[in-house]
Amino acid sequence: MASSLLTRQLAISLQHNLRVAAPGSRYISKTATKTVSEFEYDAPCMKTTVPGPKSQELLRQLGEIQNTGAIHFFCNYEESRGNYLVDVDGNRMLDVYTQISSIPIGYNHPALLKVMTDPNNLSAFINRPALGILPPENFPDKLVESLLSVAPSGMTRVQTMACGSCSNENAFKSMFIWYRNKERGFTSPSEEDIGSCMINQSPGCPDLSILSFMGAFHGRTLGCLATTHSKAIHKLDIPSFDWPIAPFPKLQYPLEEFTRENAQEEARCLEEVEDLILQWRQKGKPVAGIVIEPIQAEGGDNHASPDFFIKLRNIARKHGSAFHVDEVQTGGGATGKFWAHEHWGLEDPADIVSFSKKMLTGGYFHRDELMPDKPYRIFNTWMGDPSKNLFLSEVLNVIRREKLLDQVTRSGEVLMQGLYALQRQYPHVLSRARGQGTFCAIDARTDATRDSIILKAKNKGVFLGSCGERSIRFRPALIFKEYHVHQLLNVLNDVLAEHK
Ligand SMILES: Cc1ncc(COP(=O)(O)O)c(C=O)c1O
């Protein structure tokens, strides 16, 4: 009731905004109160075009050492605050990309500075342990306080890792180990298993597979790359596995207006999933696991309905495959729930949920059955970093104290309404606005138009990311308030008004 009232009020105020937002005029909210926290700036402030002269000189220097083709500009992290990223030329930009969606509560949050300066935490920052063999005394407590306090339903275990790819890579290994243990009836591996694995042959290295989806991104390590299908540049020249790739639903937006067409498209994809599982079983490469993102992110912010995911989960169970939800980009609150898959209302929880980015540490939650049966099967030197758990505990405190998931939902509503408004106003340029919480995207007419909008927005003080072939993606921090949304919409409106 209260939320529908809120939605109505938002709709009314946004209709009003639309009226004042004729091309060239500013997209100004009458309702957004400017509530700048004491630690952050109040607006973007541009001094040069980006990259400015200092960034360009640093690019030249670094270019003598590394490939710098992907670098946008060099940053001054000391001066960056909250939602604003400052570059080395003194340009202050509203950051709607947040280090590829990995900054949970903005730059230099005072709560995190406090963790950093607490003398009790010093040893955790200085002495990075080999967690798999020599964990610190407080490690179990800190896991309970941080990661386990946000464990998705049905998940009783967590394994930390260093990054997103490393988390998925080890999650895949867990699924294979689990699957083979099932096949062997939980007996010990045979002499043949042990001998053959040393020379990469079956049965020790079995012909198992992971089913993934076209457009997916699960990372760039060798195993993960076999499940990544977003851009050729990630995969070119790297040997890969013969694993099944199912079509991901190509839905029409807004989802509510195309429920029948979208349900048909999802049914088509699910049918294909089952066919592929059967085909790969016949090929002698059974599907040990299915991996999927709740929203395909790098691949272009592609959504699917809760019904699709629930049915997919059931298919995995029916065929004895593990169900792995990759929440590396969606996890940590940006969709308005802590985990995006909580929007689905799964009765039968996933088997594995991997995370990284906004969680500050990588890792994965899993069900009891996927616990490795022996040491060193899932292992590396660091297996995460306990100092990141200290930061994560504090991030979670801030999220709870400041009710940031509610904030994300409110800001997300304003952002979506604003994107719909811009799309109506510039139908020749923008289409397919979509999102959940502040995890939003919109398509430009072509990739060149998209890139030009992003470039112009950057020079007007808003730093955006791209994804897919021609999408602009919005990935603000959880502290992105309605006021920031309006700053973003104003700049986008200005850019589009100038766009020829
Ligand atoms: C859904 C998803 N999975 C995995 C990864 C890989 O994470 P990392 O870049 O930390 O290896 C990413 C990175 O963007 C991602 O978005």
Burial class (CB in 10 A: 0-12, 13-18, 19+), 247: middle
Q: What are the strands of the beta sheet with 92-95, ordered from one edge?
A: 84-86, 92-95, 462-463
CA 166 to ligand 1 center in whole angstroms: 9
CA 328 to ligand 1 center in whole angstroms: 6
Q: Which of 165, 169, 380 to mutate to test the pocket of ligand 1 (most atoms within 8 A of CB)?
A: 165
Token readout for 255 is: 């989802």
Segment 229-253, tens digit of pLDDT: 999 999 999 999 999 999 999 999 9
Whether 293 is in the pocket of ligand 1, judged by its Cβ within 6 Å, is yes
Determine the average pLDDT of the residues in 415-435: 98
Q: Which of 172, 217, 220, 471 to mutate to test the pocket of ligand 1 (most atoms within 8 A of CB)?
A: 217
Spell out the SS3 assignment of the chain: CHHHHHHHHHHHHHHHHHHHCCCCCCCCCCCCCCCCCCCCCCCCECCCCCCCHHHHHHHHHHHCCCCCCCCCCCECCCCCEECEEEECCCCEEEECCHHHHCCCCCECCHHHHHHHHCHHHHHHHHCCCCCCCCCCCCHHHHHHHCHHHHCCCCCCEEEEECCHHHHHHHHHHHHHHHHHHHHCCCCCCCHHHHHHHCCCCCCCCCCCEEEEECCCCCCCCHHHHCCCCCCHHHHCCCCCCCCCEECCCCCCCCHHHHHHHHHHHHHHHHHHHHHHHHHHHHCCCCEEEEEECCCECCCCCECCCHHHHHHHHHHHHHCCCEEEEECCCCCCCCCCCCCHHHHHCCCCCCCEEEECHHHCCEEEEECHHHCCCCCCCCCCCCCCCHHHHHHHHHHHHHHHHCCHHHHHHHHHHHHHHHHHHHHHHCCCCEEEEEEECCEEEEEECCHHHHHHHHHHHHHCCEECEEECCCEEEECCCCCCCHHHHHHHHHHHHHHHHHCC
* Dist CA 48 CA 52 (whole Å): 6
Whether 218 is in the pocket of ligand 1, judged by its Cβ within 6 Å, is yes
**Domains with residue ranges and CATH for the chain:** 128-401 (3.40.640.10)
Whether 389 is in the pocket of ligand 1, judged by its Cβ within 6 Å, is no
CA 75 to ligand 1 center in whole angstroms: 22
Position 24 pLDDT exceeds 50: no
Whether 230 is in the pocket of ligand 1, judged by its Cβ within 6 Å, is no
Q: 386-401 and 404-425 helices cross at what angle (nearest 10)?
A: 80
Segment 315-334, tens digit of pLDDT: 999 999 999 999 999 999 99
- Of all protein residues, the one whose alpha carbon is nearest to atom 10 of ligand 1 is 164
pLDDT for 156: 85
Whether 168 is in the pocket of ligand 1, judged by its Cβ within 6 Å, is yes
Segment 350-404, tens digit of pLDDT: 999 999 999 999 999 999 999 999 999 999 999 999 999 999 999 999 999 999 9
Position 9 pLDDT exceeds 60: no
Lookup result for tokens 């990759």: 326
Token readout for 20 is: 């004042």
* Residue 356 Cα: closest atom of ligand 1: 10
Residues taking part in catalysis:
217, 326, 357, 381
Residue 26: pLDDT band with limits 50, 70, 90: low
What is the percent of the chain with per-residue pLDDT over 90, rounded to a whole number? 91
Whether 329 is in the pocket of ligand 1, judged by its Cβ within 6 Å, is yes
Whether 163 is in the pocket of ligand 1, judged by its Cβ within 6 Å, is yes
Position 3 pLDDT exceeds 50: no
Mean predicted lDDT score pLDDT of the chain: 93
Residue 38 phi/psi, 5-degree rounding, is: -65, -20
pLDDT for 500: 66
pLDDT for 14: 39
pLDDT for 27: 52
* Residue 166 Cα: closest atom of ligand 1: 11
Whether 356 is in the pocket of ligand 1, judged by its Cβ within 6 Å, is yes
Determine the average pLDDT of the residues in 38-48: 92
* Dist CA 321 CA 290 (whole Å): 7
Residue 39: pLDDT band with limits 50, 70, 90: confident
* Dist CA 83 CA 463 (whole Å): 10
Segment 169-199, tens digit of pLDDT: 999 999 999 999 999 999 999 999 999 999 9
Q: Which of 218, 292, 467 to mutate to test the pocket of ligand 1 (most atoms within 8 A of CB)?
A: 218
Residue 25: pLDDT band with limits 50, 70, 90: very low
CA 280 to ligand 1 center in whole angstroms: 26
β-pair type (439-444, 462-463): unpaired
Position 7 pLDDT exceeds 70: no
Whether 266 is in the pocket of ligand 1, judged by its Cβ within 6 Å, is no
pLDDT for 154: 87
Q: What are the strands of the beta sheet with 471-474, ordered from one edge?
A: 430-436, 439-444, 471-474, 465-467
Segment 455-493, tens digit of pLDDT: 999 999 999 999 999 999 999 999 999 999 999 999 999
Whether 438 is in the pocket of ligand 1, judged by its Cβ within 6 Å, is no
CA 286 to ligand 1 center in whole angstroms: 25
Determine the average pLDDT of the residues in 123-143: 97
- Of all protein residues, the one whose alpha carbon is nearest to atom 3 of ligand 1 is 218
Residue 499: pLDDT band with limits 50, 70, 90: confident
Segment 287-314, tens digit of pLDDT: 999 999 999 999 999 999 999 999 999 9
Distances (CA, A) of 38 to 42, 87, 110, 118: 10, 21, 10, 21
CA 356 to ligand 1 center in whole angstroms: 8
CA 387 to ligand 1 center in whole angstroms: 21
